[in-house]
Copies of this chain bind each other. A is one copy, B any other.
Amino acid sequence: MERIYGSEIGKHAGERVRLAGWVHNVRALGKINFLTLRDASGIVQVVMTRAELAQLDGALPESVIEVEGTVVAEPQAPGGFEVHNPAITVLNRVSEPLPFPINKPDLDVHIDTFLNSATVGLRHPKKRAILRLSSGVMGGFRRYLDQHGFVEIASPKIVESATESGANVFQIDYFGRPAYLAQSPQFYKQMMVGVFERVYEVGPVFRAEPHSTVRHVNEYVSLDVEFGFIRDHFDVMALLTRLIRAMLDHLKADYAGELDMLGAQMPLAPAIFPHIYFPEALQLIYERHGEDSRQEPDLSPQHERWLGEWASAERQSDFLFVTGYPMVKRPFYTHPNPIDPRYANGFDLLFRGTELVTGGQRLHQYEDYLEALRSRGVVDVKPFEGYLQAFRYGMPPHGGFAIGLERFVMQLIGASNLRETTLFPRDLNRLSP
Protein backbone atom coordinates (compact mmCIF):
# COMPACT_ATOMS: atom_id res chain seq x y z
CA MET A 1 0.00 0.00 0.00
CA GLU A 2 1.41 3.39 -1.00
CA ARG A 3 1.85 5.89 1.76
CA ILE A 4 -0.42 8.96 1.59
CA TYR A 5 -0.21 12.28 3.42
CA GLY A 6 -2.50 13.07 6.33
CA SER A 7 -4.04 15.91 4.32
CA GLU A 8 -5.29 13.36 1.77
CA ILE A 9 -7.29 11.03 4.03
CA GLY A 10 -10.58 12.81 3.30
CA LYS A 11 -10.41 11.29 -0.18
CA HIS A 12 -10.26 7.78 1.31
CA ALA A 13 -13.18 7.69 3.76
CA GLY A 14 -14.00 4.11 4.69
CA GLU A 15 -10.75 2.77 3.23
CA ARG A 16 -7.58 1.43 4.80
CA VAL A 17 -4.68 3.84 4.27
CA ARG A 18 -1.01 3.92 5.13
CA LEU A 19 0.38 7.03 6.83
CA ALA A 20 3.86 7.84 8.08
CA GLY A 21 5.30 10.62 10.18
CA TRP A 22 6.21 11.72 13.67
CA VAL A 23 4.37 11.08 16.93
CA HIS A 24 3.29 14.66 17.64
CA ASN A 25 1.25 13.98 20.74
CA VAL A 26 -0.33 11.08 22.63
CA ARG A 27 -3.30 11.43 24.94
CA ALA A 28 -3.78 8.17 26.82
CA LEU A 29 -7.22 8.37 28.40
CA GLY A 30 -7.76 4.66 29.04
CA LYS A 31 -10.33 2.96 26.88
CA ILE A 32 -10.05 5.54 24.09
CA ASN A 33 -6.70 7.08 23.30
CA PHE A 34 -5.57 9.70 20.79
CA LEU A 35 -2.39 10.01 18.84
CA THR A 36 -1.63 12.95 16.57
CA LEU A 37 0.63 12.07 13.70
CA ARG A 38 2.59 14.88 12.05
CA ASP A 39 3.83 14.62 8.49
CA ALA A 40 4.87 17.05 5.76
CA SER A 41 1.21 17.94 5.15
CA GLY A 42 0.18 18.67 8.72
CA ILE A 43 -1.44 16.76 11.55
CA VAL A 44 -3.88 13.86 11.57
CA GLN A 45 -5.66 12.23 14.49
CA VAL A 46 -5.48 8.49 15.17
CA VAL A 47 -7.90 6.88 17.64
CA MET A 48 -6.64 3.86 19.56
CA THR A 49 -7.96 1.27 21.91
CA ARG A 50 -5.81 0.34 24.88
CA ALA A 51 -4.40 -2.61 22.91
CA GLU A 52 -3.66 -0.46 19.86
CA LEU A 53 -1.90 2.11 22.02
CA ALA A 54 0.35 -0.67 23.30
CA GLN A 55 1.84 -0.99 19.83
CA LEU A 56 3.74 2.26 20.51
CA ASP A 57 5.53 0.34 23.26
CA GLY A 58 6.42 3.52 25.09
CA ALA A 59 7.86 5.32 22.04
CA LEU A 60 8.02 9.00 23.02
CA PRO A 61 6.95 12.05 20.99
CA GLU A 62 8.99 12.57 17.80
CA SER A 63 9.33 8.85 17.28
CA VAL A 64 8.89 8.04 13.59
CA ILE A 65 6.04 5.65 12.89
CA GLU A 66 3.94 4.12 10.17
CA VAL A 67 0.21 3.74 10.69
CA GLU A 68 -2.18 1.63 8.69
CA GLY A 69 -5.77 2.36 9.58
CA THR A 70 -9.30 3.02 8.46
CA VAL A 71 -10.42 6.54 7.60
CA VAL A 72 -13.59 7.65 9.41
CA ALA A 73 -15.45 10.93 9.02
CA GLU A 74 -15.51 12.76 12.35
CA PRO A 75 -16.59 16.41 12.44
CA GLN A 76 -14.69 16.96 15.72
CA ALA A 77 -11.37 15.79 14.29
CA PRO A 78 -8.91 18.24 12.69
CA GLY A 79 -9.74 18.22 8.98
CA GLY A 80 -13.04 16.36 9.56
CA PHE A 81 -11.55 12.85 9.36
CA GLU A 82 -9.60 10.57 11.66
CA VAL A 83 -8.05 7.12 11.54
CA HIS A 84 -9.39 4.11 13.44
CA ASN A 85 -8.13 0.58 14.06
CA PRO A 86 -4.49 1.44 13.50
CA ALA A 87 -1.69 -1.03 12.95
CA ILE A 88 1.38 0.89 14.11
CA THR A 89 5.02 0.23 13.25
CA VAL A 90 7.75 2.19 15.01
CA LEU A 91 10.39 3.09 12.41
CA ASN A 92 12.67 5.06 14.68
CA ARG A 93 12.12 5.13 18.41
CA VAL A 94 12.69 8.16 20.62
CA SER A 95 13.35 7.08 24.16
CA GLU A 96 14.33 10.33 25.85
CA PRO A 97 12.20 13.41 26.39
CA LEU A 98 12.69 16.41 24.10
CA PRO A 99 14.63 19.44 25.40
CA PHE A 100 11.25 21.22 25.39
CA PRO A 101 7.80 20.16 24.21
CA ILE A 102 6.94 21.02 20.61
CA ASN A 103 3.36 19.77 20.61
CA LYS A 104 1.77 22.75 22.37
CA PRO A 105 0.05 25.44 20.30
CA ASP A 106 2.85 27.86 21.21
CA LEU A 107 6.51 27.26 21.87
CA ASP A 108 7.01 28.75 25.30
CA VAL A 109 10.77 28.71 25.52
CA HIS A 110 13.58 31.27 25.69
CA ILE A 111 15.09 32.09 22.30
CA ASP A 112 18.53 30.80 23.33
CA THR A 113 17.14 27.53 24.61
CA PHE A 114 15.25 27.22 21.38
CA LEU A 115 18.26 27.97 19.20
CA ASN A 116 20.43 25.48 21.09
CA SER A 117 18.01 22.78 20.02
CA ALA A 118 16.75 24.35 16.81
CA THR A 119 17.03 21.02 15.02
CA VAL A 120 14.10 19.82 17.11
CA GLY A 121 12.44 23.15 17.81
CA LEU A 122 11.98 23.94 14.13
CA ARG A 123 9.60 20.99 13.95
CA HIS A 124 6.99 22.98 15.88
CA PRO A 125 4.06 23.77 13.54
CA LYS A 126 4.45 27.54 13.95
CA LYS A 127 8.17 27.38 13.29
CA ARG A 128 7.52 25.29 10.22
CA ALA A 129 5.01 27.89 9.09
CA ILE A 130 7.60 30.67 9.43
CA LEU A 131 10.16 28.76 7.37
CA ARG A 132 7.56 27.95 4.75
CA LEU A 133 6.67 31.63 4.52
CA SER A 134 10.34 32.37 4.10
CA SER A 135 10.53 29.97 1.16
CA GLY A 136 7.37 31.58 -0.19
CA VAL A 137 9.00 35.00 -0.08
CA MET A 138 11.94 33.68 -2.11
CA GLY A 139 9.55 31.97 -4.51
CA GLY A 140 7.42 35.07 -5.06
CA PHE A 141 10.52 37.19 -5.59
CA ARG A 142 11.88 34.87 -8.28
CA ARG A 143 8.54 34.35 -9.94
CA TYR A 144 7.92 38.05 -10.55
CA LEU A 145 11.45 38.67 -11.80
CA ASP A 146 11.45 35.59 -14.05
CA GLN A 147 8.27 36.93 -15.61
CA HIS A 148 9.85 40.33 -16.20
CA GLY A 149 12.98 39.42 -18.10
CA PHE A 150 15.46 39.23 -15.23
CA VAL A 151 18.20 36.59 -15.37
CA GLU A 152 19.19 34.78 -12.20
CA ILE A 153 22.89 34.88 -11.37
CA ALA A 154 25.06 33.17 -8.75
CA SER A 155 27.96 35.46 -7.93
CA PRO A 156 31.07 34.35 -6.03
CA LYS A 157 31.01 34.62 -2.25
CA ILE A 158 34.78 34.51 -1.85
CA VAL A 159 36.26 37.82 -2.98
CA GLU A 160 39.79 39.13 -3.25
CA SER A 161 39.42 42.50 -1.55
CA ALA A 162 37.40 43.95 1.26
CA THR A 163 36.53 46.77 -1.07
CA GLU A 164 32.82 47.34 -0.94
CA SER A 165 32.78 49.36 2.23
CA GLY A 166 36.25 48.68 3.57
CA ALA A 167 35.08 47.28 6.87
CA ASN A 168 33.06 44.58 8.55
CA VAL A 169 34.08 41.68 6.37
CA PHE A 170 35.12 38.20 7.41
CA GLN A 171 38.60 37.17 6.40
CA ILE A 172 39.33 33.73 4.94
CA ASP A 173 42.53 31.78 4.62
CA TYR A 174 42.51 31.13 0.87
CA PHE A 175 45.36 28.72 0.23
CA GLY A 176 47.61 30.76 2.44
CA ARG A 177 46.62 34.22 1.30
CA PRO A 178 43.85 36.44 2.64
CA ALA A 179 40.46 36.61 0.97
CA TYR A 180 37.08 37.79 2.20
CA LEU A 181 33.45 36.77 2.35
CA ALA A 182 31.26 38.91 0.11
CA GLN A 183 29.20 41.32 2.17
CA SER A 184 26.79 41.61 -0.78
CA PRO A 185 26.68 40.78 -4.49
CA GLN A 186 26.68 44.54 -5.20
CA PHE A 187 29.73 44.71 -7.48
CA TYR A 188 28.83 41.53 -9.35
CA LYS A 189 25.22 42.38 -9.96
CA GLN A 190 26.26 45.75 -11.37
CA MET A 191 28.84 44.11 -13.62
CA MET A 192 26.15 41.72 -14.82
CA VAL A 193 23.86 44.61 -15.84
CA GLY A 194 26.47 45.05 -18.58
CA VAL A 195 25.75 41.48 -19.67
CA PHE A 196 22.01 40.97 -19.21
CA GLU A 197 20.56 44.42 -18.37
CA ARG A 198 18.35 42.85 -15.70
CA VAL A 199 19.62 40.41 -13.09
CA TYR A 200 18.70 39.08 -9.69
CA GLU A 201 20.26 36.85 -7.08
CA VAL A 202 19.07 35.05 -3.98
CA GLY A 203 22.04 34.21 -1.83
CA PRO A 204 23.86 34.46 1.47
CA VAL A 205 25.63 37.65 2.51
CA PHE A 206 28.10 38.01 5.35
CA ARG A 207 28.50 40.98 7.66
CA ALA A 208 31.18 40.94 10.32
CA GLU A 209 29.43 43.57 12.40
CA PRO A 210 30.48 43.01 15.99
CA HIS A 211 27.19 43.92 17.58
CA SER A 212 24.23 41.88 18.64
CA THR A 213 20.72 43.26 18.19
CA VAL A 214 17.34 41.66 17.71
CA ARG A 215 17.29 42.82 14.11
CA HIS A 216 20.78 41.85 12.94
CA VAL A 217 22.56 38.58 12.30
CA ASN A 218 25.97 38.08 10.68
CA GLU A 219 24.84 35.87 7.83
CA TYR A 220 21.53 36.32 6.09
CA VAL A 221 19.79 35.85 2.77
CA SER A 222 19.74 38.84 0.47
CA LEU A 223 17.26 39.22 -2.38
CA ASP A 224 19.19 41.32 -4.86
CA VAL A 225 18.04 43.08 -8.02
CA GLU A 226 19.90 45.31 -10.46
CA PHE A 227 18.82 46.62 -13.85
CA GLY A 228 19.79 49.07 -16.55
CA PHE A 229 18.31 51.84 -18.68
CA ILE A 230 16.61 53.67 -15.85
CA ARG A 231 16.01 57.40 -15.66
CA ASP A 232 16.71 57.63 -11.95
CA HIS A 233 15.93 55.94 -8.64
CA PHE A 234 12.19 56.46 -9.10
CA ASP A 235 12.25 53.79 -11.83
CA VAL A 236 13.88 51.47 -9.30
CA MET A 237 11.26 52.33 -6.67
CA ALA A 238 8.46 51.66 -9.16
CA LEU A 239 9.79 48.19 -9.95
CA LEU A 240 10.32 47.44 -6.26
CA THR A 241 6.75 48.47 -5.48
CA ARG A 242 5.32 46.15 -8.13
CA LEU A 243 7.63 43.36 -6.97
CA ILE A 244 6.61 43.66 -3.30
CA ARG A 245 2.94 43.71 -4.20
CA ALA A 246 3.41 40.60 -6.36
CA MET A 247 5.28 38.87 -3.52
CA LEU A 248 2.45 39.67 -1.10
CA ASP A 249 -0.12 38.38 -3.61
CA HIS A 250 1.89 35.18 -3.95
CA LEU A 251 1.85 34.69 -0.18
CA LYS A 252 -1.87 35.41 0.06
CA ALA A 253 -2.59 32.90 -2.68
CA ASP A 254 -0.30 30.03 -1.66
CA TYR A 255 0.48 30.54 2.04
CA ALA A 256 -2.87 31.47 3.54
CA GLY A 257 -2.66 28.62 6.06
CA GLU A 258 0.74 29.72 7.34
CA LEU A 259 -0.29 33.40 7.54
CA ASP A 260 -3.38 32.40 9.46
CA MET A 261 -1.55 30.10 11.88
CA LEU A 262 0.93 32.87 12.65
CA GLY A 263 -1.77 35.51 12.99
CA ALA A 264 0.00 37.64 10.37
CA GLN A 265 -1.74 40.85 9.33
CA MET A 266 -1.27 41.42 5.63
CA PRO A 267 0.30 44.86 5.20
CA LEU A 268 -1.27 47.92 3.66
CA ALA A 269 0.45 48.04 0.28
CA PRO A 270 -1.09 50.67 -2.02
CA ALA A 271 -0.35 50.67 -5.75
CA ILE A 272 2.03 53.56 -5.19
CA PHE A 273 3.99 53.48 -1.94
CA PRO A 274 4.30 56.94 -0.39
CA HIS A 275 7.74 58.54 -0.39
CA ILE A 276 9.30 61.29 1.66
CA TYR A 277 12.52 63.19 1.03
CA PHE A 278 15.09 62.68 3.78
CA PRO A 279 15.26 66.33 4.96
CA GLU A 280 11.46 66.44 5.00
CA ALA A 281 11.36 63.25 7.04
CA LEU A 282 13.50 64.85 9.76
CA GLN A 283 11.33 67.98 9.61
CA LEU A 284 8.21 65.84 10.03
CA ILE A 285 9.73 64.09 13.03
CA TYR A 286 10.59 67.46 14.53
CA GLU A 287 7.05 68.74 14.06
CA ARG A 288 5.26 65.61 15.26
CA HIS A 289 7.58 64.45 18.05
CA GLY A 290 9.60 67.53 18.96
CA GLU A 291 12.92 65.77 18.37
CA ASP A 292 15.25 67.99 16.37
CA SER A 293 17.52 65.73 14.33
CA ARG A 294 17.46 67.95 11.28
CA GLN A 295 21.26 68.09 11.17
CA GLU A 296 21.66 64.29 11.42
CA PRO A 297 22.94 62.39 8.38
CA ASP A 298 20.90 59.24 9.06
CA LEU A 299 17.72 57.93 10.66
CA SER A 300 17.72 56.15 13.99
CA PRO A 301 15.53 53.09 14.59
CA GLN A 302 13.18 55.35 16.57
CA HIS A 303 12.96 57.76 13.64
CA GLU A 304 12.07 54.86 11.37
CA ARG A 305 9.34 53.71 13.75
CA TRP A 306 7.85 57.21 13.88
CA LEU A 307 7.90 57.49 10.12
CA GLY A 308 6.29 54.08 9.82
CA GLU A 309 3.50 55.16 12.15
CA TRP A 310 3.00 58.31 10.12
CA ALA A 311 2.82 56.43 6.79
CA SER A 312 0.38 53.92 8.18
CA ALA A 313 -1.90 56.55 9.75
CA GLU A 314 -1.63 59.34 7.19
CA ARG A 315 -0.91 57.50 3.96
CA GLN A 316 -2.61 54.14 4.60
CA SER A 317 0.60 52.32 3.77
CA ASP A 318 2.82 49.97 5.77
CA PHE A 319 5.56 50.76 3.27
CA LEU A 320 7.32 54.11 3.05
CA PHE A 321 10.16 55.18 0.80
CA VAL A 322 12.64 57.60 2.30
CA THR A 323 14.61 59.14 -0.55
CA GLY A 324 17.62 61.43 -0.73
CA TYR A 325 19.78 60.33 2.18
CA PRO A 326 22.91 62.43 2.54
CA MET A 327 25.70 61.22 0.24
CA VAL A 328 28.15 61.06 3.15
CA LYS A 329 26.24 58.07 4.51
CA ARG A 330 25.93 56.21 1.21
CA PRO A 331 28.52 53.99 -0.48
CA PHE A 332 30.82 55.37 -3.16
CA TYR A 333 28.88 53.88 -6.10
CA THR A 334 25.78 55.90 -5.18
CA HIS A 335 24.50 58.34 -7.80
CA PRO A 336 24.00 61.83 -6.36
CA ASN A 337 20.90 63.88 -6.97
CA PRO A 338 21.94 66.01 -10.00
CA ILE A 339 20.00 68.98 -8.62
CA ASP A 340 21.46 68.83 -5.12
CA PRO A 341 24.53 66.54 -5.02
CA ARG A 342 24.64 66.53 -1.22
CA TYR A 343 21.78 64.04 -1.36
CA ALA A 344 21.63 60.63 -3.02
CA ASN A 345 19.42 59.35 -5.82
CA GLY A 346 18.72 56.51 -3.47
CA PHE A 347 16.20 55.28 -0.98
CA ASP A 348 15.44 53.06 1.93
CA LEU A 349 12.11 51.30 2.02
CA LEU A 350 10.66 51.10 5.50
CA PHE A 351 8.24 48.27 6.23
CA ARG A 352 6.20 48.88 9.36
CA GLY A 353 8.82 51.29 10.58
CA THR A 354 11.91 49.15 9.98
CA GLU A 355 14.34 49.38 7.10
CA LEU A 356 13.62 46.49 4.74
CA VAL A 357 15.33 47.52 1.51
CA THR A 358 18.18 49.80 0.51
CA GLY A 359 18.54 50.82 -3.09
CA GLY A 360 19.01 53.54 -5.61
CA GLN A 361 20.64 54.70 -8.78
CA ARG A 362 24.35 53.92 -9.20
CA LEU A 363 27.07 55.85 -10.95
CA HIS A 364 27.57 54.54 -14.48
CA GLN A 365 30.45 56.63 -15.89
CA TYR A 366 33.97 55.35 -15.37
CA GLU A 367 35.32 58.83 -14.58
CA ASP A 368 32.65 59.32 -11.93
CA TYR A 369 33.85 56.15 -10.20
CA LEU A 370 37.45 57.34 -10.18
CA GLU A 371 36.34 60.67 -8.76
CA ALA A 372 34.07 59.05 -6.15
CA LEU A 373 36.87 56.78 -4.95
CA ARG A 374 39.37 59.63 -4.92
CA SER A 375 37.08 61.86 -2.94
CA ARG A 376 36.73 59.12 -0.33
CA GLY A 377 40.47 58.85 0.03
CA VAL A 378 41.03 55.71 -2.03
CA VAL A 379 44.47 56.14 -3.56
CA ASP A 380 44.98 52.70 -5.06
CA VAL A 381 42.11 51.65 -7.34
CA LYS A 382 43.79 48.37 -8.28
CA PRO A 383 41.56 46.27 -5.97
CA PHE A 384 38.59 47.69 -7.88
CA GLU A 385 39.99 46.83 -11.31
CA GLY A 386 37.65 43.98 -12.27
CA TYR A 387 34.66 46.02 -11.15
CA LEU A 388 35.73 49.26 -12.82
CA GLN A 389 36.37 47.47 -16.10
CA ALA A 390 32.62 47.13 -16.58
CA PHE A 391 32.27 50.93 -16.50
CA ARG A 392 35.19 51.50 -18.85
CA TYR A 393 33.45 49.40 -21.47
CA GLY A 394 29.95 50.79 -21.55
CA MET A 395 27.43 50.68 -18.74
CA PRO A 396 23.91 52.08 -18.99
CA PRO A 397 22.33 54.20 -16.27
CA HIS A 398 21.26 51.58 -13.75
CA GLY A 399 20.15 50.90 -10.23
CA GLY A 400 18.85 48.25 -7.94
CA PHE A 401 18.17 47.19 -4.40
CA ALA A 402 18.57 44.46 -1.81
CA ILE A 403 15.76 43.05 0.32
CA GLY A 404 16.62 41.26 3.54
CA LEU A 405 14.72 37.98 3.49
CA GLU A 406 14.59 37.47 7.25
CA ARG A 407 13.68 41.14 7.81
CA PHE A 408 10.75 40.76 5.42
CA VAL A 409 9.39 37.72 7.27
CA MET A 410 10.07 39.31 10.66
CA GLN A 411 8.03 42.40 9.83
CA LEU A 412 5.32 40.42 8.10
CA ILE A 413 4.59 38.18 11.10
CA GLY A 414 5.53 40.69 13.77
CA ALA A 415 8.36 38.64 15.26
CA SER A 416 10.32 40.37 17.99
CA ASN A 417 13.68 38.87 17.03
CA LEU A 418 15.15 38.30 13.59
CA ARG A 419 16.50 34.97 14.85
CA GLU A 420 12.96 33.62 14.93
CA THR A 421 12.85 33.81 11.15
CA THR A 422 16.24 32.28 10.33
CA LEU A 423 17.02 28.60 9.87
CA PHE A 424 20.16 28.49 12.03
CA PRO A 425 21.24 32.04 12.86
CA ARG A 426 24.85 33.17 13.05
CA ASP A 427 25.73 35.97 15.41
CA LEU A 428 28.49 37.22 17.64
CA ASN A 429 27.89 34.39 20.07
CA ARG A 430 26.30 31.67 18.00
CA LEU A 431 27.85 29.46 15.37
CA SER A 432 25.93 26.25 15.94
CA PRO A 433 23.96 24.17 15.24
Contact = CB atoms under 8 A, between A and B. Distances in A.
Interface string A160-175: 1100000000111111
Interface residues of A, number: 90
Given A120-B389, A387-B433, A426-B156, A208 B175 contact: yes
Interface string A372-401: 000000000000011101101111110000
A41 B305 CA distance: 43
Contacts of A415: none
Q: Identify which of A92, A192, A219, A433 gathers the most chain B CB atoms within 10 Å of its CB.
A: A433
Given A92-B365, A394-B22, A206 B158 contact: yes
Interface stretch (A105-113, A145-153, A280-288, A310-318): A145-153
Q: Identify which of A40, A98, A123 gathers the most chain B CB atoms within 10 Å of its CB.
A: A40
21 contacts: A64-B396, A91-B397, A94-B393, A117-B389, A119-B387, A119-B393, A122-B195, A131-B153, A135-B153, A142-B142, A154-B204, A156-B426, A157-B204, A158-B426, A158-B431, A171-B173, A175-B428, A179-B431, A188-B423, A188-B424, A204-B204
Given A64-B394, A96-B392, 4 more contacts: A62-B394, A156-B219, A156-B424, A202-B202
Interface of A: 3, 20, 22-23, 39-40, 62-64, 91-92, 94, 96, 98, 117-120, 122-123, 127-128, 131-132, 134-135, 138-139, 142, 146, 149, 151-161, 170-175, 179, 181, 188, 191-192, 194-198, 202-204, 206, 208, 210, 218-219, 221, 229, 364-365, 385-387, 389-390, 392-397, 405, 423-426, 428, 431-433
